[in-house]
Amino acid sequence: MKRIPFVLFSLVFCFSFLSAQITISNLSATVHQDNVLRYDIDFNLSNAAAAQVEYGFINNGDTVWNRSEVATTAVQQGIVIVGLRAATTYFFRVLAFNANTCKYSNTLSFSTGNLPANIGFSEMDSIYTLPGSSLKGYLLTNTSDFNPKRVVELFDRAGELVWYQEMPGNPSPSADAQCQHFALCSAQSVFFLECGRIWEIGFDGSIRANIDVHNINPNMYPHDAVIRNQAGNIVSLVAIIDTVDKSAVGGSSSAIVVAPGLIEVDSMGSLVWSWSAFDHYNALQSPNPGGYWTAKFGPAAIDWKHVNSLVQDASGNYMLTFRDENQIVLISGSSGAVLWTCGDHGDIEIMVPDSFAKPASTGIASATNFVTLDNASQDTVSRAIDWWIDWGYSIPTMMIDRSFVLPQAYFATEGGSTARLPNNNTLVASTKGGLFEFNLAGNQLWFGRLNASLDRAFYVSDLYARASLAYSGPTLFCLNDTANTLLASPAGGHWFGPGVSQGIFNATAAGAGLQTLSYKYGNDTLQVSVMVDSDPDCSTPIQEGQAWNLHFAAFPNPFVDHLQVCYTLSKKTEMHITLFALDGRRLATLFSGIQIPGDQNMKLDLSGLDLPQGAILLRMQAGDGAQSARLLIH
């Protein structure tokens, strides 16, 4: 590896005046677990510190850069970076930091290798983007069927492959093909389904779950869809195989019926809840042998009520898509009761032009709307529909708000998926290889094509879990406050700004007025505005300020739930009236707006506020003038 000039990276600085400098040594980059698009960045630190990696490459003369998530405090560090392109030279450096200091390493480089032969594609073709498509992020989809195992790949919006993962374990390509499926688990991990097992694998290659479903029930086979529910547990579709006596309806006395079910398991693989179609439908109505499961269970197997998608609504219930029944069904997440059925022979009315067939997937679009990929509408048309149920009719009725018809070359009879994107557009994956983004007007904003049969696609906003910085301390300080510990989350970053030293804010050193303090955590910085009152203990009655010509009165004092504030403004100004607790916590903003010059008489009803008994501070700020007064609440 060689050193590279710093100018390739974003202008984020460490501050040399901070003490206890960190030394970074033994910095290296190696391929992670033979996956050429994941690299291990290993290094040692002289002092315990958190750390983050910045990395980038040159693309058409511009530097494209990214940064890892923050690794927790340690002396010996190892960070896995992802989102790389094959056969590309990358530049990287490490930022190590703690509450006292931060330090950048020298900039080094490494080059990624070529993709393995069994990886389906290195890029999409026919990328089409309109200006209205501004959504950043990635698309997760499958691009190799079984070669010899299924491979799931992640593409950026430019169509470049940046991540891949083979199906774990050793599934049989011939017997287990029906079970090999995947789903996005969280923002940074993927579920993989094998015929008897559920895996969760992080983008960093870590195995986060490995659950043997056959330990729960040897006749259950996970397939097609899996989610993490609101309780944080794993919920998977399963095929349940059982023997049914169908002689009463002219069938076999030992018919092999494969029915849909659900299992909910915790992170340790213990069963929490289950649901079976055998308990809610009549298996004597199952069809003749044949269908999806014959490759797994033999030609006598009956594929009954095949379900191929699963989603949980805001009420905790589960919505299932019954492909061959042409139905979308909602079941209770507690009792398992069928709450309603939309489609053939259902209890939701559907107008003929709105009818659907061979639904491949259903997702939640909003609190009331759903999106469904309708593969055989009007016999041939593949479309994504945005729909809801109008409960105001005597018979609840399905209402379609909009429909996005795919180009004819991408019509399919089964498979594919649809989902609502964060920008409120709709993502559609066709088994004919097309990925589409439609806006609510039905316009196609983005398209990418892969010469592969796509089971489904998921949107990924970021390759890493990003810290959300938040300040939890007071915003008002008195001038004689000299030892205020600044509090922010996540902990472990460092503060800088006027009057700040090693995470302590000295209001006397900072001086009166509005002060801006900064909290640096990795490459993210949070800026906090605090006010230092010019009075040592914040208790002096309001005096004349730059925008004031004040003869102040706030009465009654003490008060119960009504307060009257009188003052005079010498010019038009922006006025803010705020209540603070004595520890600096903001209790309420009573007024905020522009006021004209002259006498002001504010009558304030505070009865709806949960104010503490005793002393509080009334803060009045007009333009760049601000004063405080102490009030008492009975």
Q: Is residue 465 situated within a structural domain? A: no
Q: Which of 607, 569, 574, 601 is closest to 588 using CA atoms?
A: 607
Q: Compute how many other C-beta atoms are within 10 angstroms of the C-beta atom of residue 270.
A: 12
**Distance in angstroms (rounded) separating the CA atoms of residues 144 and 451:** 10
Residues 286 and 362 in one domain: yes
Q: What is the pLDDT of residue 21?
A: 83
Q: What is the pLDDT of residue 16?
A: 43
Where do we find the tokens 């520890």? 583
Which residues span the domain enclosing 217? Answer: 125-460
Q: Which residue has the higher pLDDT, 328 or 148?
A: 328
* pLDDT surpassing 60 at residue 15: no
Q: Is residue 134 situated within a structural domain? A: yes
Residues 259 and 312 in one domain: yes
Where do we find the tokens 């007009």? 622
Segment 466-524, tens digit of pLDDT: 989 999 888 778 888 888 899 999 999 989 999 998 899 999 999 887 788 999 999 89
Q: What is the pLDDT of residue 175?
A: 59
Q: What is the pLDDT of residue 207?
A: 94
Q: What is the pLDDT of residue 549?
A: 45
Contact predicate 369/419, CB 8 Å: no
Residues 451 and 371 in one domain: yes
Q: Is residue 116 situated within a structural domain? A: no
Residues 283 and 337 in one domain: yes
Q: Which residue has the higher pLDDT, 451 or 261?
A: 261
Contact predicate 203/320, CB 8 Å: no
Section 584-602 average pLDDT: 81
Q: Is residue 117 situated within a structural domain? A: no
- pLDDT tier, 24 (very low <50, low <70, confident <90, very high otherwise): very high
CATH of the domain at 430: 2.120.10.30
Q: Is residue 538 situated within a structural domain? A: no
φ, ψ (nearest 5 deg) of residue 387: -140, 165
Terminal C-alpha separation, the chain: 71
Q: Total domain count for the chain?
A: 4
* pLDDT surpassing 60 at residue 257: yes
Segment 285-306, tens digit of pLDDT: 999 999 999 988 999 999 999 9
DSSP state letter for 507 = H
Contact predicate 188/68, CB 8 Å: no
Section 3-26 average pLDDT: 58
Section 188-196 average pLDDT: 91
- pLDDT tier, 10 (very low <50, low <70, confident <90, very high otherwise): very low
* pLDDT surpassing 80 at residue 461: yes
Q: Which residue has the higher pLDDT, 101 or 266?
A: 266
- pLDDT tier, 547 (very low <50, low <70, confident <90, very high otherwise): very low
Residues 11 and 136 in one domain: no
Q: What is the pLDDT of residue 398?
A: 94
Section 129-136 average pLDDT: 78
**Distance in angstroms (rounded) separating the CA atoms of residues 68 and 597:** 53
* pLDDT surpassing 50 at residue 377: yes
Residues 137 and 85 in one domain: no
**Distance in angstroms (rounded) separating the CA atoms of residues 94 and 82:** 15
Q: SS3 sequence, 397-448?
A: EEEEEEEEECCHHHCCCCCCEEEECCCCCEEEECCCCEEEEECCCCCEEEEE
Residues 135 and 100 in one domain: no
**Distance in angstroms (rounded) separating the CA atoms of residues 458 and 37:** 20
Section 403-427 average pLDDT: 91
Q: Is residue 542 situated within a structural domain? A: no
Q: Which of 508, 534, 515, 563 is closest to 627 using CA atoms?
A: 534
* pLDDT surpassing 80 at residue 182: yes
Domain endpoint, select from 396, 427, 460:
460
Residues 426 and 324 in one domain: yes
* pLDDT surpassing 90 at residue 213: yes
- pLDDT tier, 4 (very low <50, low <70, confident <90, very high otherwise): very low
| Pick from 238-247, 319-328, 548-557: least confident | 548-557
CA 398 vs CA 323, 332, 404: distances in Å: 18, 20, 17
Tokens linked to 164 = 């891949």
3-class secondary structure, 544: coil
pLDDT above 90: percentage of residues in the chain: 56
Contact predicate 158/192, CB 8 Å: no
**Distance in angstroms (rounded) separating the CA atoms of residues 107 and 11:** 14
Q: Is residue 547 situated within a structural domain? A: no
CA 557 vs CA 72, 577, 584, 613: distances in Å: 51, 16, 20, 13
